[in-house]
Amino acid sequence: MRASIVTASLALCSSLRAPSLAPAGSLGASRALAATASYARHTSKLLRPTTPPPPPPPSLSAAELAACADTVSAYLDRCGGKVVLLTGAGISVDSGIPDYRGPKGSYYTNHRPITHDEYVSTKTTAHLQRYWSRSLVGYDRFAMAKPNSAHIAMAELQRAGRFGVSFGSPPSHVSTITQNVDELHQAAGSTHVVNLHGSGHDMVCLSCGEKTKRAAFHERLAAANPALMETIERFDGDPSGDGVEEPELRPDGDADLQGVDVSSMKIEGCRSCGGLLKPDVVFFGAQVPKDDVQLCYDACDAAEGMVVAGSSLTVYSAFRFVRHMLGAGKQVMVVNVGETRADGMEGVIRVNAHVGDVFSELAKRAKSS
Ligand SMILES: [Zn+2]
């Protein structure tokens, strides 16, 4: 199911050279990880929205939707199917995973995701207790999310040969570069997907690099914290019955868990070496592994075009590929509701419409042709 590239964050984490946290098991407050200072310091810019959230998606008539699909379809034809998809959080909103900057984006509800440096901070374990207690609530819902019409249509279009590129020897294949860590493209049947920011379903040890499944880690956390689990389970019941507010899910599987004391929560370490475990995702403030970046640049070079879907392109890790395509004199199609960083750039074609609607229409046409 998963692409060959999801080892991405492993490479990233290996480069941390974090010291072992031994002994194995729960991490005590006195244990410290050497902080790494080798990460890009651009988080402050990323984390503060400077503009109000965009308006909700325009509701298009059938004729308007058909016109949007015509525009994208003509572009795909011009590119002869040699197109790479670049997707962002906007396409997973309909699966119940909120985005950061959409109409209901979590940035506009005072959510600030944890940064890499915060996660590996040596000062206390309070930040890990906050992160993992919230994640115990948020991850279940994150893990249960199902692909929506956009993911399904994109997988159908890939099977119909409408996009995807091959290059190199032996050949590498890339159909989709996604900023999302939910693996919903793969769940819908897409193949050769680059998870640019890793996978929220995997864990990696920052000391020995071992990769494990996040669901198994959650089971260990739950077993180590029975009292906290009792409180958390009440979140899933009647929220008004116990006075505990229903938590709000975050784009990275995090959740808002206010009013719960987590100061005695135990955080489990790596079973092999006792090191600090981290979701295998590129947190804000960290860099995408070089091998993945190169693979995406190679895919861009092999492609005649790129369709950006559901991304405001605010984050440079994705925007650079758009810039790369434009720099090579290729046009880029951007399907998104609301403004994007690429708006107004020479060579960019904009469709301001709901991605699921547009792609479903394209998939319908591909089936009937
Ligand atoms: Zn380890």
Convert the pLDDT of each residue in 197-213 to its tens digit. Answer: 999 999 999 999 999 99
**Is 79 a known ligand-binding residue?**
no
Q: How many angstroms separate the alpha carbon of residue 161 from the centre of ligand 1?
A: 41
Average pLDDT for residues 124-149, to the nearest whole number? 86
3-state secondary structure of 172: strand
Q: How many angstroms separate the alpha carbon of residue 274 from the centre of ligand 1?
A: 6
List all residues 6 or more positions away from 13 whose beta carbon is below 8 Å from its beta carbon: 204, 205, 206, 209, 278, 280
The region of weakest confidence among 54-58, 114-118, 221-225 is 54-58
Place of tokens 């879907």: 309
Q: How many angstroms separate the alpha carbon of residue 204 from the centre of ligand 1?
A: 8
- Ligand 1 is an ion; residues with CB less than 5 A from it: 205, 207-208, 210, 270, 272-273, 275
**112 pLDDT exceeds 90?**
no
- Band (31; pLDDT cuts 50, 70, 90): very low
**Is 13 a known ligand-binding residue?**
no
- Band (52; pLDDT cuts 50, 70, 90): low
Using alpha carbons only, what angle is made at residue 118 by residues 112 and 120, rounded to the nearest 5 degrees? 145
Q: pLDDT of 230-270, one tens digit each? A: 877 765 543 443 334 445 555 555 555 666 777 888 999 99
pLDDT at 100: 55
Using alpha carbons only, what angle is made at residue 321 by residues 193 and 297, rounded to the nearest 5 degrees? 70
And the tokens for 60? 């298009």
Reply yes or no on whether 42 is catalytic: no
**27 pLDDT exceeds 50?**
no
Determine the longest span between alpha carbons in the chain, in angstroms.
64
Q: How many angstroms separate the alpha carbon of residue 20 from the centre of ligand 1?
A: 7
pLDDT at 34: 28
Domain boundaries, the chain: 15-37+114-144+202-281, 62-97+147-197+288-369
Q: How many angstroms separate the alpha carbon of residue 277 from the centre of ligand 1?
A: 7
Q: Which residue has the higher pLDDT, 236 or 118?
A: 118
Q: How many angstroms separate the alpha carbon of residue 268 from the centre of ligand 1?
A: 11
Q: In what order do the strands lie in the sheet with 277-281?
A: 211-213, 198-205, 277-281
Question: d(Cα 24, Cα 35) in Å, to the nearest integer?
Answer: 20
Q: How many angstroms separate the alpha carbon of residue 24 from the centre of ligand 1?
A: 9
3-state secondary structure of 34: coil
Q: Contact at 8 Å (CB) between 26 and 266?
A: yes
Q: Which residue has the higher pLDDT, 107 or 12?
A: 107
Question: How many residues are present in the chain?
Answer: 369
User: How would DSSP label each residue in 18-33?
Assistant: PPP--SSSBPPTT---
Q: How many angstroms separate the alpha carbon of residue 279 from the centre of ligand 1?
A: 13
CB atoms under 10 Å from CB of 77, counted, come to 10
The region of weakest confidence among 8-12, 52-56, 291-295, 312-316 is 8-12
Place of tokens 């996978």: 199
**5 pLDDT exceeds 80?**
no
Q: pLDDT of 270-309, one tens digit each? A: 999 999 999 999 988 898 999 999 999 999 999 999 999 9
185, 197, 201, 218: the active-site residue: 197
Q: DSSP label at 108?
A: G
* Domain 62-97+147-197+288-369, CATH homologous superfamily name and number: TPP-binding domain (3.40.50.1220)
CB atoms under 10 Å from CB of 254, counted, come to 25
Q: How deeply is 351 buried, as exposed, middle or buried, from its count of CB atoms within 10 A (0-12, 13-18, 19+)?
A: buried
